[in-house]
Structure 1
Amino acid sequence: MLYKNIHIGKYIKEMVVNKEISLERICNFLGKDEDFVEKVYESPSVDTDILLRWSKLLEFDFFRLYTSHLILYAPPSAPNKKTDKKNDTTPRFRKNIYTQEIKDFILERIESGEMTQAEVIKEYSIPKSTLHRWILKKS
């Protein structure tokens, strides 16, 4: 799965086909008509409330696709000296949380020869020691 360009409608349609869920059941669950469902399939993005309902219906976390994208492609955040960390209540995005899907995706790219270890480290900003730990665990 390629996390760089996410067309959520295609992923939803693919999951519906794989799980063989009827259009009638989808319409009843979402409370929408067939035209709406077809528009979702064609749409590169979906409202979060609707995406949550699709996730429940298909028993798949579609938000994880976006999280994976952030982990792989978001630049590391620069430290902000003006922010007082003690009083700051905004959530912090931690880039060092790698799901098993991300690890498998990266290791697959190395094993297939699509990328070298050095390219993975540079492209995804993964520490060298972390990547080596993943490789050792997989062996």
Structure 2
Amino acid sequence: MKNIHIGSLIKQRVEELNIDMKRIVSFFKNLSEKEITDHYKKKSIDTEHLLRWSKLLEYDFFRIYTQHIILFAPVGKTVSKTTTTPSSLPNYRKNVYTKEIIDFVLDLYTKENKKIQEISNEYNIPKNTINNWIKKYL
């Protein structure tokens, strides 16, 4: 989760679904077979293409980045002008944790024997939240 190579994840999903190259080329229309295989080698790709891949493969690749932000972006450690400046963009709550995030944190606690305080400090997740997950899911 920390180092994202989106191309390899797309390739993995294509292989899981066993999607034929002809179907992919047909879906993208403006990309050649070589350009498609080049996507598999890229660490990042254009968001328009990522959206198309998400639709074709029926998988939300953007969620990978969202989970990365939830786990690795510092909360409250920096002062940002955007927090005080109103925006017309939608405001999403950062503390909405997905099941994958919860499972990841619980694995850290159970399998890697990390202490709640360590997890809380490293990922900026409140200790109370982690304790609630432990009570609910373990």
Normalising by structure 2, report the TM-score. 0.89
The residue aligned with 1:61 is 60
The residue aligned with 2:116 is 117
Show the 5 A alignment for 1:8-23.
Answer: 8-23=6-21
The residue aligned with 1:130 is 129
Range that drifts further, 90-99 or 70-79: 90-99
**Identical residues among aligned pairs (%):** 44
**Deviation of residue 90 (structure 1)?**
4.7
Range that drifts further, 111-120 or 43-52: 111-120
Gaps of 5+ in 1: none
Residues 136 and 55 from structure 1, CA distance in 2 versus in 1: closer, same or farther, beyond 3 angstroms?
Answer: same
**Deviation of residue 118 (structure 1)?**
1.9
The residue aligned with 1:27 is 25
Residues 57 and 115 from structure 1, CA distance in 2 versus in 1: closer, same or farther, beyond 3 angstroms?
Answer: same
Residues 2-34 of structure 1, C-alpha deviation per residue, up to 9 Å, x if partnerless? x11000000000000001001111111011111
**Deviation of residue 110 (structure 1)?**
1.5
Range that drifts further, 18-27 or 92-101: 92-101
The residue aligned with 1:7 is 5
Report the number of matched residues. Answer: 135
**Deviation of residue 106 (structure 1)?**
1.1
Gaps of 5+ in 2: none
Q: Counterparts of 2:98 and 2:3 in 1: how far apart (Å)? A: 18
Deviant stretches of 4+, over 6 Å: none
**Deviation of residue 89 (structure 1)?**
2.0
Query: Which residue identity is paired with 1:20?
Result: N
Range that drifts further, 89-98 or 121-130: 89-98
Considering only aligned residues, what root-mean-square deviation do their CA atoms show, in Å? 2.0
